[in-house]
Structures are given as structure tokens and as C-alpha cells.
Chains A and B, each alone.
Chain A
Amino acid sequence: MTPQQKRAWYGLAIGIIWSLAMVAIFVVKGATAFDEDAGMRFTVYGLFIAGVLAYVAMLYVTGWRMRKEGVLVDERDRLILRKVPVYQMFAVLWTLAGWAIALSEVYHEQGQVPVVFTWLMFYSAIIVNIVFASAGTLIAYWRAK
């Protein structure tokens, strides 16, 4: 396993824990509670910022360790890693498509969508983007095998 793959596994672990925590809050409290419950809103904001910080800290620490150990990123690694943004882009597009279809179907009768879903779409797009930075790396290395 290359150092890039190890880093991707750490990123994926953070991303999965982060996603599950976000989903758990909305499942327990209910999506519409976001508008009424200030405590829930701040919990979600806090969790969102904590997730981003945890991911950035992981990138910083693993990057520092890789530089310290003189880890080599050669032409094959660069070629593999160049494919990762494509996986990220498709993952985000499919997520947004999923939201669009689900919200259109559920709220078709009302003709309007609760404001909370704009936030949920934003959070999910960011989280999916970060998760697929790691998952995309693992998929790209796996496909190169």
C-alpha cells in the first residue's frame, strides 16, 4: 500500500464518521427541526466545521510525515491521482441529481421546498466531495492494479 493510499484510508474514515454523525443528527431531530431548533442548527454548524478541520488536520499531518520520510510521488502516482477529481465531480453531480429528484417528487404537490434542504444539499455536496477525494484515490489505485 502506497502512502497515498494510507492517507486516503484515513480520509475515508474521517469522511464516513463525519457523514454518519450528520445523518444521525437529522434522523434523530428531524430535518424540519433545523428551522425551529437553534441548538440543532449550532450543533450542525459545529459538526460541519469540526469535520472540515479534522480532514485538513489529517492532510497536514500525513503530508508533513510524508515530506519528513521523503516519500516519493512518481509519474505513475501522478497519473493515478489525476483521475481523482473526475470521481469527485461525478459523485457530487449524482448527489445533486439525487437531491433534485427526491425533493421534486416529495414536494411536487406543495410547489415549494423547505429552506433546510438548501443547507442539506450544500453540506452533502461538500461531504461527498471530501469523501470522494479519498474514495476516488482508493478506486484509482485499485483500477490501476
Chain B
Amino acid sequence: MGKVEMTNRIRRLRFDHGEMTQQELANKVGCTRQTIIALEQGKYVPSVTLAFQIAKAFGVTVEEVFQYEE
């Protein structure tokens, strides 16, 4: 099995949503700012629940936020 990579567009989506800060997004989805930082840097893969919460916060589907590449 090849190397699996999860990428995301959280940073882009934050800026598209009125330059939302990391803290504002963290407050919306109920996680810490450190988790948003780790997500944006690709150092943390979120749970399915958190992924859905982030997508919901931006009003988009999970696939529009997270991409899975093999």
C-alpha cells in the first residue's frame, strides 16, 4: 500500500470566509487553536466528527475541505 496523504484547504477557506482567525474557527468547532494550526500544517489528521464540524463551519462538504491522496 502506497503512502497515504491527507491535505486540506482550511487556511484557504478561512480567508474566503471573511479572514476568519484560527481561534474563531477553533471556537466554532470546539477544538483548540493548536489543533487548527496542526491541521493547517498537515501534522494532524482529524477525527471524522471534527472533519464534519469543520466542513459545517464553512458550509461546504467534507470533500471540499479534506483531500485524500495515495
A residues with a Cβ closer than 8 A to B are 2, 72, 74-77, 144-145
Contact = CB atoms under 8 A, between A and B. Distances in A.
A144 B44 contact: yes
Given A75-B50, A76-B38, A144-B38, A2 B32 contact: yes
Interface of B: 30-32, 34-35, 38, 43-44, 46-47, 49-50
Given A2-B34, A75-B35, 15 more contacts: A72-B31, A74-B31, A74-B35, A75-B46, A75-B47, A75-B49, A75-B50, A76-B31, A76-B32, A76-B35, A76-B38, A77-B32, A77-B35, A144-B43, A145-B43
A144 B42 CA distance: 11
Contacts of B38: 76, 144
A91 to B, nearest CB: 25
Contacts of B44: 76, 144
27 contacts: A2-B32, A2-B34, A72-B30, A72-B31, A72-B32, A74-B30, A74-B31, A74-B32, A74-B35, A75-B31, A75-B35, A75-B46, A75-B47, A75-B49, A75-B50, A76-B31, A76-B32, A76-B34, A76-B35, A76-B38, A76-B44, A77-B32, A77-B35, A144-B38, A144-B43, A144-B44, A145-B43
A144 B31 CA distance: 16
A93 to B, nearest CB: 29
Nearest to A71: B32
Nearest to A76: B35
A5 B55 CA distance: 29
A95 B42 CA distance: 36
Contacts of A145: 43
A13 to B, nearest CB: 22
Nearest to A1: B34
A145 B38 CA distance: 7
